[in-house]
Amino acid sequence: MTNTTPPPAAGSAPPPASRPDARTALGWLHTAKFLTTAAQLHHLPAVQVPEIAFVGRSNAGKSTCINTLTQQKQLAFASKKPGRTQHINLFQLGKQNTTDAVLADLPGYGYAAVPKQDKIRWQQVMANYLVSRDSLVGIVLLCDPRHGMTELDEILLEVVRPRVEQGLKFLVLLTKADKLTRSEQARALSIARLQAGGGEVKLFSALKRQGVDEAAQLLWQWAHPEDQESGAAASPPA
C-alpha cells in the first residue's frame, strides 16, 4: 500500500500521532469534578457526551485508580461515603466550564457484608446501566489479579459482551501490579486476555504508577474519536 501522507516540511511539527501524549491525557483527566449521584438508573441525567464507566469488585482498587488517573486524592472516595456506596457517581471532564466527557463510578460488587436483597437490587441497577445507558462508550473493569476474575466479573462480562461486539470499548486493568513478580504479572495478563473477550488488558499500579499514562491515553482516545480522525489528538491544549 502507498502512503499518501505528505512528509512534514523541514522544521515543522512532527506528524500527528494516533494518540495524545500522556500529559494531554492526564491534564484532561485532572479536570474531573463531581457531577451527581443516583441510586436508580432513571435518576441519572441524560448526558450528551461520551461516558466511561469504572466497575469492579469491592476492594479491587477502583477508587485508587480513579483518584490516580484524575490526580485527585479524594474524588472517588466520595463514592465511599455512607449513603453513596450503592450509588452511581458521575464526574464531569472538560476545561473551562465545558464538559466533553463523563466518568461513571459504579459501586463495587461482591462485598460480603451487604445484605442479599441489596446485592440483587444493585446487580440489576448495574446490569440495566451497562445494557441501556446510551452515552456509555467504554467500560474499565478493575480486577485484582491475585484473586483473578471472580464469578461476578464473569457475569458482568457476559452482560456487556453484546455491546462490546457492537463496538463498546472495554479495558481490564489488573490492579496492584506492584504486588506481583514479573512472572506472575505475565501469567495474570495472559489469563485475563483469554477471559476479556476482545477487550484490552493492562497491568496497573497506583503505587508504582505503572500503566497510568497508557490508561489515561486510552480513555482520552475513547472520548475523542473524532479528534483522532482529524489528527487533533497530537496537539496539547493551549
Q: Which residues bind ligand GDP (CB under 6 A)?
A: 56, 58-64, 108, 175-176, 178-179, 205-207
Under 8 Å between Cβ of 225 and 33: no
**Residue 158 CB, nearest approach to ligand GDP (Å):** 21
- Please report how close the Cβ of residue 153 comes to ligand GDP at its closest, in angstroms: 12
Nearer Cβ to ligand GDP (49/111)? 111
57, 115, 124 from 112: Cα distances, Å = 11, 8, 17
User: Which lies closer to ligand GDP via its Cβ, residue 49 or residue 114?
Assistant: 114
Closest to ligand GDP by CB, 44 vs 65, is 65
> In the bound complex, what is the minimum distance in angstroms from residue 230's beta carbon to ligand GDP?
35
Query: C-alpha angle 28/221/94, rounded to 5°?
Result: 25
Cell numbers found for residue 59? 476492594
For the beta carbon of residue 76, count every other beta carbon within 10 angstroms: 24
Helix 116-132, helix 151-165: angle, nearest 10: 20
Min. distance of Cβ 106 from ligand GDP in angstroms? Answer: 11
Nearer to ligand GDP, 219 or 233 (CB): 219
* Nearest distance from C-beta of residue 61 to ligand GDP, angstroms: 4
Residue with Cβ nearer ligand GDP (63 or 89)? 63
Residue 95 has phi, psi (to 5 degrees) of -90, 150
Closer residue to ligand GDP, CB minimum distance, 64 or 221: 64
Work out the end-to-end distance of the chain between its first and last CA atoms, rounded to an integer number of angstroms. 36
- DSSP, collapsed to helix, strand or coil, labels residue 25 as helix
For residue 109, with 0-12 CB atoms within 10 Å meaning exposed, 13-18 middle and 19 or more buried, which class applies?
A: buried
| Contacts of residue 210, Cβ cutoff 8 Å, sequence gap at least 6 | 177, 178, 203, 204
CB of 207 to ligand GDP, least distance (A): 4
